[in-house]
Homo-oligomer: A and B are copies of this chain.
Amino acid sequence: MSPDTAIYVLELIGVFVFATSGALMAIRSGFDVVGIVVLAETTALGGGVLRDVIIGAHPPAAFRDPLYLAIPLVAAAVTFFFHPQVARLGIAVLIFDAGGLGLYTVTGTVKALDAGLGMLQAVILGVTTAVGGGVLRDVLARETPELFKTENELYAVPSAIGAIIVAVAYQSGWLLPAAAAGAAVFVSGLRLLALWRGWRAPGAWAVRR
């Protein structure tokens, strides 16, 4: 399997896992099958669509290859029938989700840099790629965005650190495929470490006086 094929397969797995989290949220919210499909698609693809709309990649990657739109349909169907089992996968889902976080961060940052954007812009779009779909999911389900909760373990922070590493390596000409893969693994690992050790981002400083 070539590196490109490997990335493609990993991306499709990431799409599936993110879509599953959207479908589960729709089911917890009591939505019908339409809501399940919409949240599956939005969670899986919303971050990348936001990035591509901002950098002007038309149509967005999610609309260039029908598999990107088809896989959330499959995830929605599986979750529709087997959601108690899917919800019980717990740790497996968290691991795959961390994998998606790392992969989306790296591909999103690289796409923004390839489009000619500066480092800070690329870092922000890399993180947007990775976390934007989940925020859209929570907005559609009328939930407080998971991303912003002080009781949740680090999610955007590992993504931001990984995006900074990728952007610095890219600008220095060191972003070989192995380095990109390393950054993705680093993001995923840091996310899982945060889950395991209970690392959280603080709320505003003076509130804790």
Contact = CB atoms under 8 A, between A and B. Distances in A.
Given A81-B206, A147-B34, A148-B32, A59 B56 contact: yes
A101 to B, nearest CB: 13
Q: A interface, by DSSP: helix, strand, loop or mixed?
A: helix
Given A55-B58, A120-B70, A31 B82 contact: no
Given A54-B53, A69-B124, A121-B63, A31 B148 contact: yes
A93 interface: no
Interface stretch (A1-9, A182-190, A195-203): A195-203
Query: Copies of this chain, how many?
Result: 3
A121 B66 contact: yes
Contacts of A125: 63
Given A31-B148, A148-B29, A150-B30, A59 B121 contact: yes
A109 to B, nearest CB: 13
A102 B63 CA distance: 23
A180 interface: no
Contacts of A81: 204-206
14 contacts: A27-B207, A29-B148, A30-B150, A32-B150, A32-B200, A33-B202, A54-B58, A54-B60, A56-B58, A59-B117, A69-B120, A69-B121, A135-B140, A139-B140
Given A32-B202, A70-B120, 16 more contacts: A27-B204, A32-B201, A32-B203, A34-B157, A38-B135, A38-B147, A54-B58, A54-B59, A54-B60, A55-B59, A56-B58, A59-B117, A66-B118, A66-B120, A81-B204, A83-B207
